[in-house]
Amino acid sequence: MKVGVIANSGKSLDGGLLELRRALERAGIANPLWHEVPKSRKAPKAMRRLLESKTELVFVWGGDGMLQRCIDVVAGSDVALAIVPAGTSNLLATNLGVPEDIEQAVEIGLEGERRRLDVAGGVVIGIASLCALVLACRAAGAAATGLAGERL
């Protein structure tokens, strides 16, 4: 299987990108196609390169913004995305049950069940973020401010 990595070089988790390389190597992936980007807005170009290279599985290291940009590019293709959550909120990873442990995330990416997501025109993470905001507002008692009222 041809494996690639798109990593937001500004994000860190546990042992960082070096540990991700080591975890992949321990799992039998010695030389993935590797693309590091300084910001998530640079991810689509790197993802298109991986698609052109016929990559079958892409590990995405970053947060929700990075994931959203990668999802936007691969939507409708047969490329599988594996999440290695390294962002601030990691809403999509959390909702899919992907742990922040690098070894476990790599194992899930390689051995876990593949699920298709209906991205509904690229609004998956936007909706998850809105839901999280509503829940946070309600938990903080901010419903009275109108942020989490009947308008939703």
Q: What is the pLDDT of residue 132?
A: 45
Q: CA-to-CA distance for 26 and 39, rounded, in angstroms?
A: 28
> Residue ranges per domain, the chain?
3-117
For 86-114, give the DSSP string. -SSS-HHHHHHT--S-HHHHHHHHHHSPP
- Residue 133 · residue 126 · CB < 8 Å: no
For residue 119, give both structure tokens.
């991205």
Partner residues linked to 27 by β-bridges = none
The single-letter code of the amino acid at 114 is R
User: What pLDDT is recorded for position 119?
Assistant: 62
Q: Identify the pLDDT of residue 76.
A: 84
Q: 3-117 has which CATH code?
A: 3.40.50.10330
Closest to 55 in 3D by CA, of 42, 37, 70, 38 = 70
The pLDDT of residue 118 is: 65
Q: How far apart are CA 102 and CA 19, in angstroms?
A: 8
Three-state DSSP class for residue 151? coil
Residue 120 pLDDT: 58
Which element (helix H / strand E) includes 59?
strand 57-62
Tokens of 52: 């052109």
User: pLDDT value at position 95?
Assistant: 83
SS3 for 69? helix
One digit per residue, pLDDT tens: the chain, 152 residues? 999 999 999 887 778 899 999 999 999 999 999 999 999 999 999 999 999 999 999 999 999 999 999 998 998 888 999 999 998 888 888 888 899 899 999 999 999 888 777 665 544 444 444 444 444 444 444 444 444 444 33
